[in-house]
Chain A
Amino acid sequence: MMAPLMNLKETELCLGLPGGAEAMESSAKSCIGNKRGFSETVDLKLNLHSNKQGPVDLNVAGAPKEKTLIKDPAKPPAKAQVVGWPPVRNYRKNVMANQKNSETEEAMSGGGGGAFVKVSMDGAPYLRKVDLKMYKSYKDLSDALAKMFSSFTMGSYGAQGMIDFMNESKVMDLLNSSEYVQSYEDKDGDWMLVGDVPWPMFVESCKRLRLMKGSEAIGLAPRAMEKRKNRS
């Protein structure tokens, strides 16, 4: 059993210059603390452990992860998605995703066009675009965003969907517990917390999405609740 594992270690993905494992670890260590680059923010592999020591842990923890895979095939492994792998084009993935949606739900009425909005995440070096019309609910959107920006956690936010903005303490709990929350810019140009209106209304009014740190979003919450009160 050891021989294949050693082999895996040789081919293990890690940062740093080629050389022995020690050399790898030390140069990987020197990368910690520096601003993360493109693949690090998006590659969930480095975030298997909640602390940011990603590269070092990967070397060590990688092998046992494989072991778990073989030992317990019934339990699906927590192996996360690597960006762009398997190499299936986005176009194809989107088509299949669309079809899976319409297979399980009523055929989408062909009305209206796409609702493309830009999505930015604090700390990520680039934006993505999503078509809100491709999703049926906040959960769908959360899942898709999670895949796209795999390094953020949503806590229980995504599962809930709509937030009860009347309940201030619940909102505060949420913002304190999640690493990132979804906020959006509505038609009026105000930044609101995602989840304050029914899904169809959200699709109509959302102009832009931003995944921001929970701590920063605290500033949004009171305004969001104000606006909600004014709307209803």
Chain B
Amino acid sequence: MKFQIEDVTVYFPYDHIYPEQHAYMVELKRALDAKGHCLLEMPTGTGKTIALLSLITSYALSKPSSLVKLLYCTRTVHEMEKTLAELKLLHRYQRLHLGDAARTLALGLSSRKNLCINPAVVSAENRDSVDAGCRKLTASWVRALAVENPNIPTCRFYEDYEKAASDAVLPPGVYTLQDLRAFGKEKGWCPYFLARHMVQFANVVVYSYQYLLDPKVAGIISKEMQRESVVVFDEAHNIDNVCIEALSVSVRRQTLEGATRNLNKMTQEIQRFKNTDAGRLRAEYNRLVDGLAQRGNLPIGDTWLSNPVLPDDILKQAVPGHIRKAESFVSLLRRLVQYLKGRLETENVEKEGPVAFVGSINAQVGIDQKTLRFCYDRLHSLMLTLEITDTDEFLHIQTICDFATLVGTYTRGFSIIIEPFDERMPHIPDPVLQLSCHDASLAIKPVFERFQSVVITSGTLSPIDLYPRLLNFNPVVSRSFTMSLTRDCICPMVLTRGSDQLPVSTKFDLRSDPGVERNYGRLLLEMVSVVPDGIVCFFVSYSYMDGIEIMQHKLVFIETQDVVETTLALDNYRKACDCGRGAVFFCCQRQAAQCVGRVIRSKADYGMMIFADK
């Protein structure tokens, strides 16, 4: 349907609208009009996403001269796909009413792992090996060599994409990752690089949080977004965690051992270049004297993860003299690794501020703060000079340099914690040195500053006034909407005692109590025998589960640490519920509010939540 909110004609792809959706749109429009940030809470199952998409795209359509662009951030790729599916519906509806005037380009963006269509590359096991596999075929020096020597393999999708040059564009439409891959296959163009290129021209970009929040990724993906863009963080209840994680690094023994191996390899390479192509190293030295490590115009295939610190904090100065030479930089890194090794050898938990830590590094191995700050860029430059393409092998030294750059940049909002062992297994030494960020506002600050409207929304944002303080911003609108229910479709229950009147508890000391276990087991058994279709079970421990008996009533699926397996199990779980066989899905314990908050996806659903704990 079509309706007016003040001066904006809203195109909404359904015949009816929930009252809270309308109220949500009104508030959102005010925030956009005020060119400010907003905080909106509305329960899951009220069609928040479509309300957001519908209002913002309609807003952009009503002001054709403005450059309103939507950057929609989701937590995960599967949420991205869901959002794009809804956007497709909306787009179809707008096309129906407006014709060509509604032409937009919307696309999802993800990693090479999720977009690559070169079978030789994408079959690699994880993201890092796919990234490295891609670089091996697309790095500028590899391609330069391939021109002379046709035996050197390249990626035909990348080559064809490059050949098409400015003709390689996506026609207007809505593209999910799958659509991008299909389009790439049809044209023979690399969908990953095409998508990255098209991001600047798209009206709507859907990607995950990190592409804006994590400086390492944002630095290469989201550099050139217009200020007029509207940024939406959906399901943002954990946004503070993402911010903190984006700026945190931990170092273990394995990291240090790997870093040492990396340094040995680099030393070899340096030696090789000295013998064969000494000019390269000298050219790098000169470039570093002139200014910056890699801020030049790198070919798109050579870009690597960007500097881990926030854009404003990156030093725009010449690299300090004593690390301009490749060997001296490598030997400096060796000293740093050695120092960290020594710090890991501790018996007690230690906590330190960055200033003290940097002071101690300077005193012991003679590396000052400014040099630390340049570690990342200097490493990147060296890797390019050494023409290293198997970047997945060099992640350890990269971690060390990220750590160095972060610790050398920030003096507050961070602490360094060294733990000698995992508290769950005190007898096994497993030391870890963490650089933890504890100020979520740091990572998100550039986003608030760069974009005129940032919308933070979720089903559960309570207490809502906590978020402006956590993230240090001033929203122009901050509202919570409640769900209007026309019937009782949810039924929360609290169960404190089992059928034998003994209390049930998930407290750690009662966890292995046989009586408690029996009560949970019986509760579950009774539930599976009466509940139709699906049950999702969040348990602190699998020991409660008596799989064998449950299986007489329902199929059993379990979340494991293997994502592939868990994904297949989830898919099967849904199939089992759809076909009527019924199933139980066991999940690891998560935040209770997040679990039960998602018991219904829409008002047509119904569900029951049982909290079994005294």
Partners in one complex: no
Measuring CB to CB, which residues of chain B are less than 8 angstroms from any residue of chain A? none
Measuring CB to CB, which residues of chain A are less than 8 angstroms from any residue of chain B? none
